[in-house]
Structures are given as C-alpha cells and as structure tokens.
Amino acid sequence: MTILNKSAFLLAASLGAALIFAGCQASSPNSNTTVTTSATPPGAQSLSAIPRPQKIADLMKARGEQDQALPTLKIVSPAKDATINGAKVEVKLDLAGDLKGYMPHKDPATQKGNHIHVILDNQPYEAYYELGQPFELRNLSEGKHTLRVFPSRPWHESYKNEGAFQLVTFTVKGGGDATKPTTTNSGQTVASPAKSPAASASASAIPPPHEGKDYPPSQAGNVDPAKPLLTYSRPKGEYKGEDADPIMIDFWLLNGKLQGDGGDYRVRYSVDDGEAKFLDKWEPIWLTGWISGKHRVKLELIDKSGNVVDNGGYNSTTREITITK
C-alpha cells in the first residue's frame, strides 16, 4: 500500500466511523418520534460474516494439537450394500489416523465434547459420542438408505482431511412403525404408551441406553459416491442465548474443490430465501445479526455455469433452525 493509498484509506475509515457515530447521536434525541416511521420493517435481519470468534480460538488453544489431527473413519456396520431385516440398524465405526489426542467423548459436566456427525439420508445430523458402543438408527423406514459420517469438534466444526468422511448405502427390509414413541438422542423414552411399575422400579439397574435416534421416514437419494457431494452439517436445530450469535455454517465437500481452493465449484448459501451468497473456500463461516424466530438456511453446490451439481438431491439442502435470544 502506498502512503497516499494508506492515508486515503485512513481518511475513509475515519469518515465512516464519524458518520456512524453521528448517526447514533442524531437518531437518539428523536428516537421517540421516529420509531414508527423507521424504514427498517420490524423483524428484518441483516447478516454479516465475521472472523472465527475469539471464544472458539480460545477453545482451540486449550485443546493442544487436536485441531491439527487427521482423524479417519471406517464404517464397520452397516456393511456397504447390506440388507438389514428390521427397523433398527447399528452403526459401528473405526476411528484411526493421526489423532493427536482427538477422541469422541461427552463430558458429563459440560455435555460437550468431540463427536461424530451421523447423517441418515439427507436428514439433520445426529451427534455420536461414545464409539465403544454402537449408535442405533431406530425406526428406519423400509427401503434404501445412505449413511454419512465424519468427525467433529465440540463446537461442531468438522474435520476436513482425506478419509474423515465416509458414506455407505444399505437397505432395510421390514421398516419401522410411525406410531412408536419419540425418544431423545440418548435413547431415553420421552413419551411411552405403556410402562410397567416394575420396569420403573428397577430403572437404576438397567444399563444406560445406547446412543441413537428414532427416525422419521426417509429414503436414500440416488447418490453417486464418485461425484461431487456437498454434505450440509451446520447450522441445525435450536440456538439459545450466547450460542445464537454468531452461528457457524459448516459443510463437507467430497470429490470437488471450490474456486478459492483451485477448483471449479462454489457453495451458494441463502438465509430465509434472501440474497444468494457464495463460499469459495472450504472452511466454516460465522454469521452474526440473527434475530429470534425460525430461519431457513440453504446450502448448494454450484458448477461453473451456476447450476446446482446433481447428485441424488443432496447438493441442495435447506434446514430450518430456531433462534431464541
């Protein structure tokens, strides 16, 4: 930067700051009278990307070398193209690679920790913490399904190294029952149609339930694992309080490079069907400016011509999230 450019930049920056400051000052005395004529409609949301939050940078520092780990996964069960009788499928994974201390586990005190993102078909991921026990995919509908897995950090940012992501297709014969009770992620029954008093009395003697999830019906997309595949990971579910701003967008990209990484592809995202924005590097971003309520986040893999890359429908995914500030 030349000296002239630098001073022009500084001048522009200070002018900008002065304008913002002046704006604040000017608006406050009349705020009582101008509030109803404001140009901003109530509930409008303006999002902007910010650098990795300090909170997360601090977490990384506290983890030693873990963020430089190169964890790899192997799906031991279900086997590729397996046919499984019954609605329950056990997921068993082998974790290997250069782990540098990386190990999935939920800390009972904080309810946080390294975990695996487990994705059935194109449903929102489930978190899987204790790999010593299988993760149960329960109440699966009959037919073909896909399973995708990849390792994640406590703040849900995925590991993006070669071998971290795995996908298998399998088939369920004799599917699940939509009238089954709903269970939580840890497998505890939330609402059961019948429970005997004896079962409750001996509850403390029952070993803790496996991690798992009762799934609503879904089918596999017609996915070609050799073609570019975008896997939506975050955001999902509910965000409350200090977790509600900023919110991270993160994804897994298989068989393709983004333009900023020397490839041909782009990831297009939009929130609440608003203006489309592009991600040209495979890394998470953090968006700030969310307002309370339900929001739709859409992530798509786009080719050079600006079209969504077809791969079984998975390359265009929309999730609804709920924010409570």
Binding site for Cu ion (CB under 5 A): 127, 152, 156
**DSSP type of residue 258:** B
Among 260, 304, 314, 305, smallest CA distance to 282 is for 260
Least distance (Å) from Cu ion to the CB of residue 110?
14
Bridge partners for 317 per DSSP:
299
Specify the residue, 245 or 250, whose C-beta has the smaller distance to Cu ion: 250
Least distance (Å) from Cu ion to the CB of residue 208?
21
Specify the residue, 233 or 316, whose C-beta has the smaller distance to Cu ion: 233
Specify the residue, 244 or 291, whose C-beta has the smaller distance to Cu ion: 244
Among 263, 295, 259, 254, smallest CA distance to 278 is for 259
What's the longest Cα–Cα distance across the chain?
83
Least distance (Å) from Cu ion to the CB of residue 147?
16
Least distance (Å) from Cu ion to the CB of residue 3?
48
3-class SS of residue 241? helix
Least distance (Å) from Cu ion to the CB of residue 117?
5
Specify the residue, 146 or 152, whose C-beta has the smaller distance to Cu ion: 152
- The answer to whether 297 touches 269, Cβ cutoff 8 Å, is yes
Specify the residue, 139 or 233, whose C-beta has the smaller distance to Cu ion: 233
Residue 5's Cβ-side half-sphere holds a number of Cα atoms within 13 Å equal to 2
d(CA 82, CA 140): 14
Q: Which residue is nearest to Cu ion (CB)?
A: 156
Among 42, 159, 173, smallest CA distance to 98 is for 159
Least distance (Å) from Cu ion to the CB of residue 164?
14
Specify the residue, 23 or 237, whose C-beta has the smaller distance to Cu ion: 237
End-to-end CA distance of the chain: 42
- The answer to whether 124 touches 148, Cβ cutoff 8 Å, is no
